Amino acid sequence: MGISWAGKGTLIEWLKQQEDIELEFLKSYVTRPIREWEIPWNIYNFISLEEFKKWIENDEFLEYELNHWLHYYWTKYSDLVENWIDKWKNVLKEIEVKWLRNIFENNHQLKDNITSIFLDISEETLIERINKRWAYMSEEELENRKKSLKLEKKESVLICDYIIDTTHNSKEETLNKVLEIIKSKIK
């Protein structure tokens, strides 16, 4: 988990390249448009809002949430069952802090098997990273992300097992800290 632009995508791509750990990576489904640097079905499964609504009617989600008050992100329950419960694999999943709380409140059997790592950054770093990578972000979306940042920081302190502030860490330091945690938890 982590604040927007804290380095979750970079971390996941790096972990996929590690040969000394066995992890399955569950993708999120999203209703937002694809960004110019993203590859469809690599990290996110992009689908329409209409398809999302159909899946809600069929109760197909482990969790879902309206993120930054703009677009839905979610995890299909069947993806988790097929990769973790049925095959006893170690699963890595990028989720929001509020989703973790929902999972804990609604799926008690999962609680004891989840290790949560939260990547944090300062508001200044958030703005700096957005400006470096994204040509334009509306003022409304930027304000929504700042609001999300504050809410997620408060929630992470209450619910997450580990919090890593990436504001002053190098990318390598952050990656190694996360890898150390994962290796300590894999049985």
The highest-level CATH class for domain 8-185 is alpha beta
pLDDT band (50, 70, 90) for residue 154: very high
Query: Taking Cα atoms as reference points, which of 144, 165, 169, 168 lies closest to residue 156?
Result: 165
Mean predicted confidence (pLDDT) in 121-133: 86
* 133 membership: H or E segment, kind and range: helix 123-133
Tokens of 87: 């095959």
Tell me what pLDDT residue 135 has. Answer: 63
One-letter identity of residue 163? I
Tell me what pLDDT residue 103 has. Answer: 76
pLDDT digits (tens, 9 = 90+) for 164-178: 998 888 889 999 999
User: pTM for the complete prediction?
Assistant: 0.78
pLDDT digits (tens, 9 = 90+) for 23-82: 888 778 888 887 777 766 667 788 888 888 888 888 777 666 766 667 766 677 777 666
Quote the longest CA-to-CA distance of the chain: 46
Residue 182, classed as helix, strand or coil, is helix
Measure the CA dihedral 13/133/42/183, to 10°: 20
What proportion of the chain, given as a percentage, has pLDDT over 90? Answer: 20
Phi and psi dihedrals of 93, rounded to 5?
-140, 125
Class of residue 130 by CB neighbours under 10 A (exposed 0-12, middle 13-18, buried 19+): middle
Mean predicted confidence (pLDDT) in 85-99: 77
Residue 168, classed as helix, strand or coil, is coil
Residues 138 and 9: their CA atoms lie apart, in Å, by 22
